[in-house]
């Protein structure tokens, strides 16, 4: 069959894709003007719209076209609710905090959908008759044509609203200069409220429109909202530009997917954004004021337990407890999991806590380490030492590459790393020969290590549990001490100076770019090791296990545990793993909801996380002493 004959089909597919991308992108652009952040939670509202449509049709038995009456109030209402409460609070703490809050909300909404509707895929049929029409010799779904036409109508309305109404003028004024707009009499509450309602409505409406076309899952919309975000940023504040770009993107995706690249066509918008961002980093948004408050000290300059004294170096000894007391297997399992995760969290902490750059790509390096280790052990029969070495090297190399690009992204680090994670996941999912694609590859079943005197020692994690456990604990201890050394060194102190004021740091001779790159490479290496440890313990791995949710979880664990402290990156994963184990029997998504919510709480009210909170509580009982390391210890001479 001549592929050219299908061209009309791919063109309409492209227009269809572009249409609903465009609708969501419009909503995101509208909010971005006020919030200066990409509201990725709209992806959750998109999914909600699809699900409510399903409920309307299947549960309530109504005609498909009644669904907007259910969808719109729900998604618009929810958008206004979280927009005027959560975002308003987070916005005061900076752009990075707001963006992380948006990601948390996305996860919460989608997890709630998973809890409410279950994970199994749902489908509904388009009510249109005939279901397909013949255009230019190809068979096109009528529903897709409907979506294209409806989008054109809705987009025109939005354009009219933004350009010609009082509300639209107020919105544009607030987007350009918030303070002056308010001072000239514009009511921000109403304008912002309407903006969120409109955006939420657009997202939900897109979900409604596409429900009969795609299968409905709680996680639908994640990739879509990110593509829409890209479109909204490059298109800027102009409705025709955003919509035009969306259509162009849809078409290029459809055509390249059909004729050249398959799934990799998903990468196009992100590569485009990265390309533009390398020339104009401003396309990622305004600069992120990434440091809110250090976990270490707030308010008075002394008398605050900081838990970063030399006593904390003893922490790894805790891992000996299950061995000495002969605790049940659960505890060694927990220990291995926490050690592996903590490595990932430490890697985030190095950047987030010390350089002041919240980083959302460590999950990918974790994955690289996992895959490297698995490949070495399973394919080549190498030992654990070799596996760790390959993991470190591959993660570091990739880390350096991303780091160099990241230097260009500057203070848009959070958004940039977020995009990179998506790129990694899509690429990894498609490099089937290397990664086994979505199906993954079987995990490590036999691990051995060559020790100097003992020779080859087999460490099957499932049969000789102490040996594997102790190896993992030892590797963790080394990483823990290494991180401690780094942050106490002059290099570490220079990183903190970069966090405090990058320009000033540069002006006193600190090689800012170079140091950031080194920090980023070390961080990637540490994450890679964590991944290698993790791979030794799971039965199989696939790229989705190292996607942005993983990266986000690391960051979440760091923030909740206490960013920028030695203990935080261990306390965080420990707490979260324990509580997830507790809630899993109820529902496997409950943990995600709780912790995403906890992250929002932490971002808004508890900058120091658990460790910071503990410190503050303890300082009430032990005022006047300094339980942690002093400035002199850290400054060094």
- Residues in contact with other proteins by CB under 8 A are 291, 294, 296-297, 301-302, 490, 493-494, 496-497, 499-501, 503-511, 631-632, 634-635, 637
* Helix (H) / strand (E) containing 233: helix 222-235
> Least distance in Å: CB of 245 to other proteins?
27
> Least distance in Å: CB of 297 to other proteins?
7
Which is closer to other proteins, CB of 294 or CB of 542?
Answer: 294
> Least distance in Å: CB of 356 to other proteins?
9
> Least distance in Å: CB of 571 to other proteins?
22
Provide the token pair at 168.
């639209």
- Given a contact cutoff of 8 angstroms between Cβ atoms, the answer to whether 165 and 34 are in contact is no
> Least distance in Å: CB of 197 to other proteins?
39
Strand 540-541 and strand 441-442: pairing? Answer: antiparallel
Q: Residue 73 and residue 125: Cα distance in Å, rounded? A: 23
Beta-bridge partner residues of 278: none
> Least distance in Å: CB of 501 to other proteins?
5
> Least distance in Å: CB of 606 to other proteins?
18
Which is closer to other proteins, CB of 233 or CB of 499?
Answer: 499
Which is closer to other proteins, CB of 34 or CB of 497?
Answer: 497
Which is closer to other proteins, CB of 163 or CB of 490?
Answer: 490
Which is closer to other proteins, CB of 502 or CB of 580?
Answer: 502
Residue with tokens 């308003």, as numbered in its chain: 88
> Least distance in Å: CB of 300 to other proteins?
8
> Least distance in Å: CB of 509 to other proteins?
3
- Given a contact cutoff of 8 angstroms between Cβ atoms, the answer to whether 524 and 401 are in contact is no
Which is closer to other proteins, CB of 63 or CB of 507?
Answer: 507
Which is closer to other proteins, CB of 94 or CB of 573?
Answer: 94
The conformation of residue 463, written as its DSSP 8-state character, comes to: T
Q: What is the dihedral of CA 477, 480, 484, 486, to 10 degrees?
A: 110
Q: What are phi and psi of 333, to 5 degrees?
A: -55, -50
Burial class of 333 by CB neighbour count within 10 A (0 to 12, 13 to 18, 19+): middle
Which is closer to other proteins, CB of 379 or CB of 637?
Answer: 637
> Least distance in Å: CB of 507 to other proteins?
6
Q: Residue 61 and residue 42: Cα distance in Å, rounded? A: 27
> Least distance in Å: CB of 291 to other proteins?
8
Which is closer to other proteins, CB of 37 or CB of 495?
Answer: 495
Region class of 410: left (phi > 0), else alpha (psi between -120 and 50), else beta = left
Which is closer to other proteins, CB of 294 or CB of 596?
Answer: 294
> Least distance in Å: CB of 511 to other proteins?
5
- Given a contact cutoff of 8 angstroms between Cβ atoms, the answer to whether 557 and 366 are in contact is no
> Least distance in Å: CB of 308 to other proteins?
14
Residue with tokens 């000894």, as numbered in its chain: 317
Which is closer to other proteins, CB of 165 or CB of 507?
Answer: 507
- Cα 611 from chain centroid (whole Å): 23
Q: Which residues contact 194 (CB under 8 A, 6 or more apart)?
A: 167, 171
> Least distance in Å: CB of 506 to other proteins?
6
* Helix (H) / strand (E) containing 451: strand 448-451
The CA-atom distances, in angstroms, between 557 and each of 51, 146, 297, 566 are 30, 44, 20, 13
Provide the token pair at 324.
């000495």
Beta-bridge partner residues of 132: 141
Q: Residue 371 and residue 441: Cα distance in Å, rounded? A: 9
Q: Residue 188 and residue 185: Cα distance in Å, rounded? A: 9
Q: Residue 226 and residue 221: Cα distance in Å, rounded? A: 8
Which is closer to other proteins, CB of 96 or CB of 497?
Answer: 497
Complete DSSP assignment for 554-622: HHHHHHHH-TTSSSHHHHHHHHHHHHHHHHTTT-TTHHHHHHHHHHHHHHHH-TTHHHHHHHHHHHHHS
For residue 247, the tally of other CB atoms under 10 A from its CB is 21
Which is closer to other proteins, CB of 299 or CB of 585?
Answer: 299
Which is closer to other proteins, CB of 227 or CB of 516?
Answer: 516
HSE, side-chain direction, 13 A CA sphere, residue 597:
11
The CA-atom distances, in angstroms, between 452 and each of 388, 421, 455, 457, 529 are 17, 39, 6, 10, 22
């Amino acid at each position: 069959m001549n592929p050219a004959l299908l061209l009309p089909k791919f063109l309409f597919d492209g227009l269809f894709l572009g249409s609903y991308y465009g609708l969501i992108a419009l909503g995101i652009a509208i909010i971005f003007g006020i919030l200066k952040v990409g509201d990725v939670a709209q992806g959750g509202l998109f999914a909600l719209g699809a699900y409510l449509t399903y409920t309307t049709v299947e549960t309530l038995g109504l005609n498909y076209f009644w669904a907007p009456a259910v969808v719109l109030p729900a998604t618009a209402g929810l958008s206004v609710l979280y927009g005027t409460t959560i975002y308003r609070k987070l916005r005061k703490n900076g752009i990075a905090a707001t963006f992380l809050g948006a990601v948390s909300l996305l996860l919460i909404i989608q997890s709630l959908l998973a809890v409410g509707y279950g994970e199994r895929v749902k489908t509904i049929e388009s009510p249109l008759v005939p279901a397909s029409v013949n255009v230019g010799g190809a068979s096109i779904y009528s529903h897709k044509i409907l979506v294209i036409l409806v989008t054109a109508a809705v987009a025109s309305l939005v354009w009219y609203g933004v350009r010609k109404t009082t509300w639209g003028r107020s919105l544009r004024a607030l987007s350009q200069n918030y303070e002056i707009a308010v001072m000239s009499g514009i009511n921000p509450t109403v304008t912002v409220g309407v903006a969120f309602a409109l955006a939420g409505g657009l997202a939900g409406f897109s979900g409604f429109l596409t429900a009969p076309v795609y299968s409905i899952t709680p996680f639908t919309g994640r990739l879509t909202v990110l593509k829409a975000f890209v479109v909204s940023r490059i298109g800027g504040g102009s409705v025709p530009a955003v919509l035009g770009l969306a259509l162009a993107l849809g078409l290029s995706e459809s055509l390249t997917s059909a004729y050249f690249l398959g799934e990799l066509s998903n990468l196009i918008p992100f590569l485009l954004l990265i390309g533009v961002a390398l020339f104009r980093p401003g396309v990622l948004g305004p600069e992120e004021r990434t440091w809110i408050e250090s976990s270490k000290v707030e308010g008075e300059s002394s008398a605050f337990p900081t838990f970063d004294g030399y006593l904390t170096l003893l922490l790894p000894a805790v891992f000996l407890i299950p061995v000495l007391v002969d605790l049940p297997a659960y505890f060694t399992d927990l220990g291995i999991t926490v050690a592996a995760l903590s490595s990932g969290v430490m890697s985030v902490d190095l950047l987030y806590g010390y350089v002041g750059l919240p980083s959302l790509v460590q999950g990918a390096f974790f994955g690289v380490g996992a895959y490297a280790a698995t490949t070495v052990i399973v394919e080549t029969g190498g030992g654990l030492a070799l596996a760790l070495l390959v993991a470190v090297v591959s993660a570091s190399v990739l880390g350096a590459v991303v780091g160099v690009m990241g230097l260009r992204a500057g203070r848009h680090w959070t958004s940039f790393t977020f995009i990179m994670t998506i790129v990694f996941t899509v690429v990894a999912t498609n490099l089937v020969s290397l990664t086994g694609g979505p199906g993954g590859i079987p995990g490590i079943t036999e691990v051995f290590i060559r020790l100097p005197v003992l020779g080859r020692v087999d460490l099957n994690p499932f049969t000789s549990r102490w040996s594997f456990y102790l190896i993992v604990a030892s590797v963790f201890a080394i990483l823990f001490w290494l991180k401690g050394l780094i942050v106490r060194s002059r290099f570490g102190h220079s990183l903190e100076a970069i966090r405090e004021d990058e320009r000033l740091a540069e002006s006193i001779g600190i090689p800012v770019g170079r140091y950031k790159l080194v920090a980023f490479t070390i961080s990637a290496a540490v994450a890679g090791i964590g991944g290698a440890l993790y791979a030794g313990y799971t039965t199989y791995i696939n790229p989705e296990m190292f996607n942005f949710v993983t990266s986000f979880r690391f960051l979440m664990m760091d923030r909740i545990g206490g960013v920028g402290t030695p203990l935080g990156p261990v306390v965080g994963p420990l707490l979260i793993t324990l509580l997830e184990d507790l809630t899993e029997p109820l529902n496997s998504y409950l943990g995600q909801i709780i912790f995403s919510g906890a992250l929002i709480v932490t971002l808004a009210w508890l900058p120091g996380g658990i460790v910071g909170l503990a410190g503050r509580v303890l300082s009430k009982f032990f005022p006047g002493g300094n339980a942690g390391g002093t400035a002199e210890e850290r400054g060094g001479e």
